[in-house]
Amino acid sequence: MTKPTPDPRHTLTLRDVSEASGVSEMTVSRVLRNRGDVSAPTRERVLEAARALGYVPNKIAGALASQRVNLVGVVIPSLSNMVFPEVMTGISETLDGTGLQPVVGVTNYLPDREESVIYEMLSWRPSGMIIAGLEHSTAARTMLARAGIPIVEIMDIDGDPINHAVGISHRRAGRQMAEEIIAAGYRKIAFLGTQMPNDFRAKKRLEGFEEALSRAGLTLVDREYYSGGSALLKGREMTAAVLNRTPDVDFLYYSNDMIGAGGLLYCLAQGIDVPGRVGLAGFNGVELLDGLPRKLATMDACRLEIGRKAARLIADAPPASQVEELFPTLQPGDTIRH
């Protein structure tokens, strides 16, 4: 029978466990970290005392003393667009064996916010940082470069990494999709996308897309932007707008699958022949949409793999900077004719 747990008004320290078990603080510390050799009986007594007291170690003190923090900062623009949760899965999965823990910060695509999130995170001296994108404020870049820890910029490789980078070429992805569409015989192509000046990756995809069009002697016949609201709904609305304004359009290229899905549902509801009369394509390869009546053409962004490789880089901390390019596969689905 152990005595009832003592007054929980003060947070427990190693000292409390030490006194309760009659073993020095140092030995208690060793037991709790599975460090060094501790005799089995001592170890038992310590563990029992710690458990009975409900001791939770103070990582702040531990980190200060050991100069070691098992945290990895992850800075992403948004949680709500289906793409980052999957990246997080890859990161967690890979970090799981390593003793490292991801800590997420969200920037909402705001550079100022990104800067302050990075600053806050660095002030906890994490073991590494994973950050979406290659575009950051000068101050942010400087902080990261000086932090003396592995930095991995993810999603995109079209640019100049601070340290490591893992991602795809969005420029090339846009180009590839344009080539596929042109090869399928579409000629009156419109773009429908988000109005986010700081979504650099969407911007690069569009650049690549237009580049390929222009190489084929084509230009976009229409474009439509949106911001906020339900993506599915916006997809419908934008699609309606474009089809009305430019009746002879024969392809709609969406900046993401979600608005593409809205467009697809709209076309089907209107009885528009897809992909005969108009073709459609999105971007991301979100599994979420697999249940649609027709499979939207898209490119998967290798999200899981990006998360995994980024985490690997943090865990392994190779001395030399690395850039890992992944290659998305184009999934023609049922909305591009062939």
Enumerate binding residues for DNA (CB under 7 A): 11-15, 23-27, 29-30, 32-33, 35-39, 41-43, 57-58, 61-62, 64-68
120 near a second copy (CB under 8 A): yes
Cβ closest to DNA, residue 1 vs residue 65: 65
272, interface contact from DNA, a second copy, none, CB < 5-8 Å by kind: none
The dihedral sign for the CA sequence 232, 235, 241, 247: negative
330, interface contact from a second copy, DNA, none, CB < 5-8 Å by kind: none
- Bridge partners of 190? 222, 252
CB of 315 to a second copy, least distance (A): 17
| DSSP for 169-236, written as a single string | -HHHHHHHHHHHHHHTT--SEEEEEE--TT-HHHHHHHHHHHHHHHHTT---SEEEEE-SS-HHHHHH
- Please select the residue that binds a second copy; options are 288, 316, 318, 329, rule is CB under 8 A: 288
∠ CA 173-174-178, rounded to 5°: 115
296 near a second copy (CB under 8 A): no
Cβ closest to a second copy, residue 125 vs residue 188: 125
- Within residues 207-246, the interface with a second copy by CB under 8 A covers 229-236
CB-neighbour burial class of residue 334 (10 A; exposed 0-12, middle 13-18, buried 19+):
middle
Contact 106, 73 (CB under 8 A): no
* Cβ neighbours of 337 (radius 10 Å): 17
CB of 10 to a second copy, least distance (A): 8
Torsion of CA 221, 224, 225, 228, to 10 degrees: -150
Give the total of residues touching a second copy (CB under 8 A). Answer: 58
- Please select the residue that binds a second copy; options are 20, 23, 31, 82, rule is CB under 8 A: 82
CB of 9 to DNA, least distance (A): 12
Cβ closest to a second copy, residue 157 vs residue 259: 259
* Cβ neighbours of 290 (radius 10 Å): 8
303 near a second copy (CB under 8 A): no
Distance (Å, rounded) from C-alpha 300 to C-alpha 138? 31
- Please select the residue that binds a second copy; options are 167, 174, 193, 262, rule is CB under 8 A: 262
- Within residues 135-154, the interface with a second copy by CB under 8 A covers 142-143, 146-148
27, interface contact from a second copy, DNA, none, CB < 5-8 Å by kind: DNA
32, interface contact from DNA, a second copy, none, CB < 5-8 Å by kind: DNA
306, interface contact from a second copy, DNA, none, CB < 5-8 Å by kind: none
Q: Three-class SS of residue 50?
A: helix
- Bridge partners of 280? 252
247, interface contact from a second copy, DNA, none, CB < 5-8 Å by kind: none
Contact partners, residue 212, CB within 8 Å, separation at least 6 = 174, 175, 176, 178, 179, 182
List residues binding a second copy (CB under 8 A). Answer: 8-9, 11, 54, 56-61, 63-64, 69, 79-80, 82, 84-86, 88-89, 92, 101, 103-104, 106, 119-120, 122-125, 142-143, 146-148, 229-236, 258, 261-262, 265-266, 269, 287-293
